[in-house]
Amino acid sequence: MIRSRYTHRVKLKKILAGGLACILLAAGPGTAAALAGENVSREEASSMNAEMTEPAGDPAQVQDPAPAQDPAPAPAPSQPDPAPSQDPAPSQGETPSGQDPAPADPSGGEDLGGTGDVSQPSDTPGETGDPASQEDPQPGTGEEPGTETPAEEEIPEQTQEKDKKNERVEDEHELEQADLATGRNEDLFAGMTITSLPVVHVDYRFYHVDCDYSMARFRIYVREDRDDNARIVGTIPVGGLMYVLEDLGDWSYVESGDVRGFARTSSIYNCDQTARKLEEAEKQVGSAEQVLSPLALLIQIREAYVPEFGSLCLPPEENEALTFTKATGRATAEKEYAFAREEIQIREGMGDGQEAVGKLAQGGVCYILTREKDGYVFVESGDVRGFVREEALVTGSEAVKKAVQGGNFETAEKLMDPLDNKALFHTILSVKNGDKSSGKRQTLIELARQCLGHAYIWGGIDPFGYGADCSGFVQTLYKCLGIQLPRVAQDQAYYSGGIKIPVADAAPGDLIFFARNGYIYHVAMCYDNNEGAPTTIEALGRNYGICYYHSAGRDTIWALRILE
């Protein structure tokens, strides 16, 4: 009787297993085979247990094991789908509105995020979701779904696709549009005038501006940056005189004697308060009834009322804030003539071992700007500035007599680019004013350098922080100078406030445009120009960010000069 019950139960289980196998065959042969093998192994184990210990009770009350349940669904593939080869951003030109899109993957590569957790195990041990069954598949049955790895031949294809993408240099979105265009670059020049301009020399000199004196409310620490923790470049005593060269809100950029840097605006008297202080000083020196030049008056005021101008705490050439603006309230230096007794070297520092920055021929002229220790003087001759021994020069009345006689006096020959000369800004004084537009060019380049290494973000307009694309980069920099450019490269190339010039003539700060198939797809800023081969600073592309590059061998069409 017991054997009969067991036989019927075995037959019932075989019938159920057969029905389940049919269902699984319809769902998928791999899953059916795997579960069928598992069911057989369970049946054999159950038979062995039944032979050793017979179950008691009514067969109808005996519950079947897990095979009677619906199988767990196959897990998601262990490898996520590859990211699309195209960027998710639209490819219809740059964003005209100037709004930044959603943040992109900061790595600049494909998005490897999947749609779910592919390694999450099933709740029922032994089912196909069990990690153990995935890691160790049954021999001869192949690996379970969800543990397949891509075929080896697919990996080189992915690598080739990535390499192909890395070959792209400029903005991928705009370059794709250029590749699809059907025009010709020659068509862009129809009715266009490209003007060759004289060579622009970068002027290191400071330009003089008319501005009112201000006074220090209390002792001021002038700093290298707009930060209370920045280095102190100099101090200004209580009542000390200074020029406010630029009002920046909470901070002001000031100049007091040789000190140039940032001071808290709250520590400075405004113009009206300063005027009242100066009136008091005028009464003290008894100059109310005298006719004095402004400079003579200020000298008397300084002697009677103001202890001194600012005092340096840092050599000017080490002060990074020195050239924040090339404006100065100080007058240019008076010409103190000097002539070389014989050919001399003008050096970067005081000492015969210092590097030569220029060479002055016998009889050549220079101007003494400051006198230093140990018999050295700091001189300027043409674009050369540096130190020489005063004994090597004809100075004083003899030099004045020679200057009055006149002649074609030769200036120094440059042996080093002035901007590479560490002694260039030993003093900002010069015998002539600088060019204001040249100051703007240098300011533009300095602003661009602050953006180096920041991200390329298609549609972005924040090169100082979040990121920018090529046209957003140059638009924001020019906006800092008060010049509003159009938003996209195609419109910037035709900006009416500039002059189109050959790319070979581009000067620092000029814009260089790129076109393919008659489509303008990129803009860069000229950083330097060496014999007609400009180097650039630009928002180059997603894999590069904002960086230095070059213009040679690329799709350049023309440059645009906006600054004077």
Same domain, 380 and 411: yes
Quote the pLDDT of residue 272.
79
Quote the pLDDT of residue 18.
59
Cα–Cα dist 48/42, whole Å: 10
Given a cut of 80, is residue 147 above it in pLDDT?
A: no
The 3-class SS string of 219-275 reads CEEEECCCCCCCCEEEEECCCCEEEEEEECCCEEEEEECCEEEEEEHHHECCHHHHH
Phi/psi of residue 125, each to 5°? -60, 140
Average pLDDT over residues 236-244: 89
The overall average pLDDT reported for the chain is 74
Quote the pLDDT of residue 266.
93
Tell me whether residue 429 is in a domain. Answer: no
Q: Which of 281-290, 339-348, 351-360 has the lowest mean pLDDT?
A: 281-290
Average pLDDT over residues 190-196: 70
Tell me whether residue 406 is in a domain. Answer: yes
Domains in the chain, number: 4
Same domain, 389 and 441: no
Place of tokens 């210990």: 53
Range(s) of the domain holding residue 287: 207-327
Tell me whether residue 180 is in a domain. Answer: no
Quote the pLDDT of residue 299.
63
Tell me whether residue 93 is in a domain. Answer: no
Same domain, 321 and 350: no
Strand locations in 401-447 (E)? 413-414
Given a cut of 80, is residue 78 above it in pLDDT?
A: no
Quote the pLDDT of residue 363.
94
Same domain, 397 and 509: no
Domain boundary pick from 301, 327, 353: 327
Residue 370: which pLDDT band, with cuts at 50, 70 and 90? very high
Domain boundary pick from 263, 296, 327: 327
Quote the pLDDT of residue 171.
67
Helix (H), strand (E) at residue 368: strand 365-371
Same domain, 319 and 357: no
Tell me whether residue 425 is in a domain. Answer: no
Q: DSSP assignment, residue 218?
A: S
Amino acid residing at 251: W
Quote the pLDDT of residue 240.
87
Place of tokens 């840097």: 261
* CB of 522 closer than 8 Å to CB of 540: no
* CB of 71 closer than 8 Å to CB of 31: yes
Place of tokens 């067969």: 59
Tell me whether residue 172 is in a domain. Answer: no
Residue 139: which pLDDT band, with cuts at 50, 70 and 90? very low
Quote the pLDDT of residue 208.
86
What CA–CA distances, in Å, run from 271 to 212, 257, 274? 7, 19, 5
Q: Which residue has the higher pLDDT, 489 or 25?
A: 489
Given a cut of 70, is residue 106 above it in pLDDT?
A: no
Same domain, 266 and 347: no
Same domain, 407 and 441: no
* CATH code (residue 295): 2.30.30.40
Q: DSSP assignment, residue 300?
A: H
Tell me whether residue 14 is in a domain. Answer: yes
Percent of the chain with pLDDT over 70: 62
Is the pTM above the cut of 0.85? no
Q: Which residue has the higher pLDDT, 474 or 326?
A: 474
Average pLDDT over residues 179-201: 72
Kindly report, residue by residue over 456-469, the tens digit of the pLDDT: 999 999 999 899 99
Domain boundary pick from 364, 394, 420: 420
Of 328, 324, 308, 329, residue with least CA distance to 224: 324
* CATH code (residue 518): 3.90.1720.10
Quote the pLDDT of residue 155.
44
Helix 470-480 × helix 436-450 angle, to 10°: 130
Same domain, 127 and 14: yes
* CB of 80 closer than 8 Å to CB of 112: yes
Given a cut of 60, is residue 191 above it in pLDDT?
A: yes
76 CB-contact burial (10 Å; exposed 0-12 / middle 13-18 / buried 19+): middle
Quote the pLDDT of residue 295.
64
Average pLDDT over residues 194-199: 57
Tell me whether residue 521 is in a domain. Answer: yes
What CA–CA distances, in Å, run from 35 to 21, 132, 148? 8, 15, 18
Same domain, 6 and 40: yes
Same domain, 479 and 411: no
Same domain, 279 and 398: no
Kindly report, residue by residue over 260-315, the tens digit of the pLDDT: 999 999 999 887 787 777 777 666 655 445 555 666 666 666 555 545 788 999 99
Same domain, 10 and 128: yes
Average pLDDT over residues 473-492: 93
Kindly report, residue by residue over 217-235, the tens digit of the pLDDT: 999 999 999 999 999 999 9
